[in-house]
Structure 1
Amino acid sequence: MNLAASVKLLRPTQWLKNLMLFFPPFLGGAILNPGIAQKGALPFLSFCLASSSTYVVNDLLDRHNDARHDKKRHRPIPSGAVSVPQAWWIAAVSLAASLFLAAFVSPVFLLLTLSYLAVSSAYSLRLKELALIDLFCIAAGFLLRLQAGGEAFGIVVSEWLFLSVFLLAMFLATGKRLSEKILLGGTAGEHRKALLDYPEGYLEGVMYLCGGSVLVTYTMYVISRHMFVYTVPLCCFGLLRYILRVKHGGGGDPTESLLKDRPLFVVGLLWAVMIGYSLYGGR
């Protein structure tokens, strides 16, 4: 078995999305409390393995389409670096390990992990082909991470944070679909059937709608929590920069955008520093 290809199959760069589990303690002012890192290790690892298992299954189901895609044909499965039986074995081991670890956190956390796996599996098997429903499935994955983080650390997720994360996830999911439609052009439907069902201009409209809503809910969140309201301009810049990236054909994957787009990375880092100073600067 090709070890490097097997690790790549797990998509470790996508584990950044699972940092959402640490949002409740970070934004709740508890991230520096003793034992937080140890308390978050099992939940984070559990969700990383759970998400990796769904990525592997998704790649297995999409391997024939990916083989015809200019970029995706270089992925471990369509390229032949990892065989189909090996990929199924990796997915099964990742899934079992994830659930084993989740059971040690709490019954509710295990239920949230199972819910995430159910949504992700349904998405891979069928729902990703249904316009609009595919966007809500992606958003549900982020919300389940957020709620799982709240459960793992014993912190209640506020209504404004819930709404902000939901709308941000919808914004990013729509941007990713729009980017795919722009980059694939006339062959978009061959790679993702749902793209055929989005009328011209629809994805742009949804992205703008969700982006504006994120700005409103995030502003309400920081005001209600007496946090740095000066991070709102950063939020605005980040949203507009992502739209600009998508419209210029730069790719809409959230993780790739954050890691490869320097302005987005800097804005994200500044946001974390400013919020961190607002919450922990006086300690």
Structure 2
Amino acid sequence: MRLHQWSKNVLVALPALLAHNLSPEVAGEVAIAFLALGLVASGTYVVNDLLDQEQDARHPTKRHRPFASGALTPGFGWAFGPALVGLGFALAWALLPLAFVGALGVYLATTLAYSFKLKSVVIVDVCVLAALYALRVLAGGAATGIPVSEWLLAFSLFFFLGLALLKRYAELRILEIEVDARDNGRGYTIEDAAMLRAIGPAAGFMAVLVFALYVTSPDVAVLYARPGLLWLAAPLLAYWTMRMWMLAHRGDLPDEPVAYALRDRASYAVAALTAGVLLLASIPV
């Protein structure tokens, strides 16, 4: 089920958090959306691992996954995956607005298209991964009825495009060091590493630029009493982006950056400092 991947579903809370709407009702809707999306995502991860089990078995780290290692049978997976998806949709249908169910349907269709075909199409794959992150944010807005701002959507697309490119680059670096990178099942070869290394950080810094433009916009004064303090978050985001790419370039970053960030002290420090900046900017003098 890749429970560590559920951390990505925290994105459903972003619209409520950034709108400063944390009422008990909204918090309940966010919690249900988090659970429903987690169940559907876990079901699609099962399907993806079933489709990738032969390639994963030859991968230096992915070979330990349940289906690639033989710990679980394909028959179990083909029953368990759809069951998780069905449970997630049942929960959403019963307790959340129809708009969220629709967003969940788009997420499922996009994820399955990625698993069956798009993950092997160069560049399209990372665009789809970025879109899936943004869909989580949109789903959070649909669950709570809170509109997702254009600023948040633009920031999400650039930030998560950079993260998707980082994931692919990290995979290539590990494969370059340990095995033949020409059989990675993703359409990329070692020759593509330089290009990924160029456009990936650029996407990350575009996200920082979007954030900086937001800080200078009239919209920010509606939500923050001291918007000038938000500038302190920009170098934190830039630092995190540069550090992650440096680790990947050295071959020290696993091929799943999110999983690495969850056990990385520096990432926690950046997250805590950024949250502190947002909080201080919200408090009147």
- For residue 55 of structure 1, what is the aligned residue in structure 2? 45
Q: Distance in 1 between matches of 2:170 and 2:196?
A: 10
Question: Structure 1: which amino acid aligns with 2:146?
Answer: I
**Offset, 1:37:** 2.2
- For residue 214 of structure 2, what is the aligned residue in structure 1? 221
Asked whether the equivalents of residues 172 and 252 of structure 1 are also in contact (C-alpha less than 8 Å), the reply is no
- For residue 187 of structure 1, what is the aligned residue in structure 2? 180
Is 1:206–2:199 an aligned residue pair? yes
Asked whether the equivalents of residues 169 and 193 of structure 2 are also in contact (C-alpha less than 8 Å), the reply is no
Question: CA 1:251 to 1:223, structure 2 compared with 1: closer, same or farther past 3 Å?
Answer: farther
**Offset, 1:77:** 1.0
- For residue 6 of structure 1, what is the aligned residue in structure 2? none
Q: Distance in 1 between matches of 2:93 and 2:104?
A: 10
Q: Which moved more, 1:47-56 or 1:102-111?
A: 102-111
Is 1:272–2:266 an aligned residue pair? no
Of residues 108, 116, 124 in structure 2, which corresponds to 1:117? Answer: 108
1:58-69 maps to which residues of 2 (within 5 A)?
A: 58-69=48-59
**Offset, 1:61:** 0.3
- For residue 233 of structure 2, what is the aligned residue in structure 1? 231
- For residue 224 of structure 2, what is the aligned residue in structure 1? none
Question: CA 1:45 to 1:200, structure 2 compared with 1: closer, same or farther past 3 Å?
Answer: closer
Of residues 164, 173, 191 in structure 2, which corresponds to 1:173? Answer: 164
Q: CA offsets per residue over residues 164-210 of structure 1, 9 Å max, x none?
A: 00000100000110111111016222122411396352101111220
Q: Which moved more, 1:180-189 or 1:112-121?
A: 180-189
Of residues 258, 261, 265 in structure 1, which corresponds to 2:261? Answer: 258
Question: Structure 1: which amino acid aligns with 2:50?
Answer: L
Q: CA offsets per residue over residues 61-99 of structure 1, 9 Å max, x none?
A: 001111111211111112122111111121011010111
Unaligned runs of 5+ in 1: 1-9
Q: CA offsets per residue over residues 224-272 of structure 1, 9 Å max, x none?
A: 3144222111111111111112112122523223112221221012212
Normalising by structure 1, what TM-score? 0.91
Q: Distance in 2 between matches of 1:127 and 1:188?
A: 19
Is 1:134–2:125 an aligned residue pair? yes
Unaligned runs of 5+ in 2: 222-226
**Offset, 1:128:** 0.5
Q: Distance in 2 between matches of 1:187 and 1:102?
A: 43
**Cα RMSD (Å) of the superposition?**
1.8
Normalising by structure 2, what TM-score? 0.90
Q: Distance in 2 between matches of 1:135 and 1:142?
A: 11
**Amino-acid identity (%):** 32
Question: Structure 2: which amino acid aligns with 1:204?
Answer: R
SS in 2 for 1:260: coil
Q: Distance in 1 between matches of 2:120 and 2:190?
A: 9
Is 1:80–2:82 an aligned residue pair? no
